[in-house]
Each structure stands twice: as C-alpha cells, then as structure tokens.
Amino acid sequence: MKRRDVLQLALTAAALAPLGRLAFAATGDAWEAAFLKAMADEPWLLGYLGCDDRAFEAAAEVTGRWPAALRGRLYRNGPGMHSFGGWRYRHLFDGDGLVQAWHFDAGGVNHQARLVATHKLERERAAGRRLLPGFGSLPPDAVGVTGVDDLNPANISVLPHGDRLLALWEAGSAWALNPQDLTTEGLVTFSAETRGLPFSAHPRLEPDGTLWNFGYLASADKLVLWHFAPDATLKRVKVLEVPRVGMPHDFMVTRHHLLLLLPPLYPEPGGDADTLLDSLRWHPREATRVLVLRKADLEVAGEMELPAQWVFHYGNAWEDEAGVIRFDAARAPDPLLMTESFRELMRGADADFTTSAARPYRYRVDLRAGTAVEEPFADMLGEFPSVLPRHVGSRHGELVMLVRHASDTPRHDGLDRVSVFDLEREIESSWRYPDTEIPEEHLPVETADGSRWLLGPALDWASGHSLLRVFRLDDVAAGPVATARLPYAVPLGLHGRFLAG
C-alpha cells in the first residue's frame, strides 16, 4: 500500500475527532425508563435489555440426544451492554460487544460470555459513565476522539483466525481475544502500514483457509481490500478510490472475483447531525452499484447497476465458466430498519419491523454483457442467509435463512422460523419456533463423519433462558434433535462462527 494512502486514511480518522464534542440535548435516563415500561407490557423486549458489566459461565442442561460427532465451539458476538452509568444507548448497534462461546465435548455443553475490553469500554469503566459517541448515540458531556478505534465496540461478528479469536466491528480494527477464556488481548495490527485501517465484520473464509475482507471509508471515498493466506499471514492490502462508496456491510467471493453492492446511503455531515446515523441520507432514485473486482490484481472487472436497495447480508456467490456470477441475499427496499426501527427499539417504542424488512432474493451478474438482474425467490421476510463453509465461493444447492411467513403471527416483532431452501428444486423446509422464543442466526455445519447439522441459538423470553438447538440439516422440519438450555438469558446477538474440534 502506498504511503500517501496511509496518510489520507489517517487524516480521515483525525477528522472524526470533533464528533465527540458536539452538544447534546440530555434526556437523562428517559430512554431507559421508557424501555423498562414497554418491556413490562412486551416481555419479548428482554432480548434487547442488555447485560450488566460481568462475565457469564455455566453448564447447559441438555435435552434430547446431542450428536456424538458434534464437537467444538460456537462463537458468537453482538451488542451486549446497552446501559451503563445510568444512561442507555439510542441505537441497537452501539452496545459493547459481548462474545460468547458454546463448547461441546464429551463432558456436555458449556457456555461462557464476556464483554470485549476495548479502549472505549475501559475508559468508560474508569469514569463510571458513558464517554464516547456511537453510531447512533451521543452521551451527555461526551469527550472528543482522535480516531475511529476510540469508538470501536467490537460488537458485530467474530472470527477464529490463526491462534486468535477476533471480535469484529463495522468500521475499525479487529480485537484479539483468547479463544479459550474470551479474555481480551488487544487491538489487532496486521502490519505497521495497515494500522487503523477498517476491517469489516463480514470476512469471507474459503474452504482452503484463504481469507478475504474489505473495509470502507465513506467520507474519504476509499475501499480497503484484505487478502490472507491459509496460515493467517497477510498477503495483500489494497486501497481503492471508489467515488461515493457508500456503506456496504457485507460482500462476496467467487472463484475469480470479489463482489460488493454499493447502496446509495451516504454520510452528509452538517446541520443538526449529532451522530453518524443522523448524517446519513438515503437516495432512493439513485442506483445501487454492483462492483466486481478481480482477485488476481484487486482491480475493477466491471460495474453494473440495480435499483436502490439495502442488503445487510449475502448468502453465497459463485460463477460459471462464462463469467456469470450468481448470488443470493436478504434484500430490503431501503435501510429504514437500521436508521429508524433499531433506534426506536432502544426505548421500547412501537417500531415497524416489516415494511422495510428484507426478503430472499437471487441475482445474476453477467460480466461480459455488463448486466445485473434480480428476482425474489420466496414470498416471505428473511434474514441471516448462510451456507455450509465448504460451499463458500462455489456453487451451493441449499441456503439457510431465518424467515417469517405472511401467515405467521408471533408474539414478538422478529423472525420466527428457520428454513432450508433447496435452490435446485425450489423447495423450502422449515420449523417454526414457539411464540415465546426468538431465534438468532443459524449456522449449517459438517462434522468429521460427514453428518450435517444446523446450530440454532435462541432466547426463550418467557422463561428468561438462552438456548441452543441442534437440527438435522437434511430434515429441519422434524424439529431439533437436542436442546441446550442455560440458567440465564444473554442479549440477542448478531453473528457467529463454528470451530470444530
């Protein structure tokens, strides 16, 4: 990477410093009080109450028959501590990262969870109150920042990489954790030249261990591309100039290409914007750009257009010999779930979770013709698409998603089914969760004996217990074969990874 690129990125980070000094019209703990009042009427909000500043550890109670070959750890991450020092965050994505580990071995199923001890959290612990701004929150008397990692809550995803466990955020560096006890080891710097460059929360791990990732700096019109060897050593980093790069949250890999959708959502600072969220502007008349990059040289192979849309998560992408790329995603018409609903949720307000919700879509990108087309493949709400790890970047015949059918009327506002889609035969197999449970991201896994399973964490909000269900991937409609139940509830998380062994 050229030194001028590093300098430009450092200057961009420094430009964020004034954000923490903006005035804030304090509301005290009004949001906390409003949330607790709402939770008394809507007890499913327990999933968003948040945890206090402590670690969790317990053996799970297992019912059913746990598969003998299913051994390893399921790591998960998500916003954990939403309230601290008498003040509640104003957006779901601001909570301090809570990393969990479900450990399966011959002795049973055990669980542990810890908050990531980021620079941000350690400063606030010392002060006994919130000090730093977040994506959509600005606490009273906030202090200034000198770089993006001052704000980094490490709260979106997790990645076992080499001998470390990485806690990942959207816009900053990774944090290293001890994979055995989840204690925080420090901020990750992959090289002196890449210090502070954004490392997104959705890296793509190919079956041979090759890792790809990206990062974006919307205010600098920069896209950062990362390439790691199977032994976890850094091979390449490239910084691309991408006008109006927007805020891509996820990306895809194929045999020869990387692919990103760039939505028309841009930060436009000024006016009354107290936070990054307040500065975002959606341009529905602009196209969502499809950016395809060659793996060989990390240069642009093509750029196409699709109607304006917002995609949090993709399932998988693959390409044929003619250079046609196909992929699937959870497609929303706009980002209002993020910009509005996830803010209102934090005070327990009646937020709309369906109008702007994502639905299952599939796409076809033809590099030679320069075209991109899309179509829905299931008439339902859907999120958290995933495939078996060995299918990443190659053709996949099935896709796992959390969904909600039009006929479903759960007692909570979230998704209520896990579905496995047979993409070749266009068949859906699903299992509906009880009304008192909220499912989280489900991951398909394979064991050494070739058996295929589906790991499904969930929250039983009625009883106040978190749990993990195991399904047969080939027969999810039959329901779980085993359930591990904890003696406590942990906040609903976002993303995870399974590490066998």
Whether the per-residue pLDDT at 451 is higher than 70: the answer is yes
Token reading at 106: 């011959």
- Taking residue 300's Cβ as centre, other Cβ atoms within 10 Å add up to 12
| One-letter amino acid for residue 234 of the chain | L
- Looking at the DSSP bridge assignments, the partners of residue 155 are none
Q: What is the pLDDT of residue 211?
A: 99
| Residues 453-477 pLDDT 10s | 999 999 999 999 999 999 999 999 9
Whether the per-residue pLDDT at 218 is higher than 80: the answer is yes
What is the spatial distance between Cα 452 and Cα 474, in angstroms, rounded to a whole number? 7
Mean pLDDT of 115-138: 98
CB burial string 149-188: b at 16+ within 10 A, e below: bbbbbbbbbbbbbeebbbbbbbbbbbbbbebeebebeebb
Q: Smallest Cα–Cα separation from 472: which of 429, 411, 441?
A: 429
Ordered structural domains, the chain, with CATH: 3-500 (2.130.10.10)
Mean pLDDT of 374-397: 98
| Residues 45-81 pLDDT 10s | 999 999 999 999 999 999 999 999 999 999 999 999 9
The dihedral formed by the CA atoms of 335, 87, 49 and 133, expressed in degrees to the nearest 10: 30
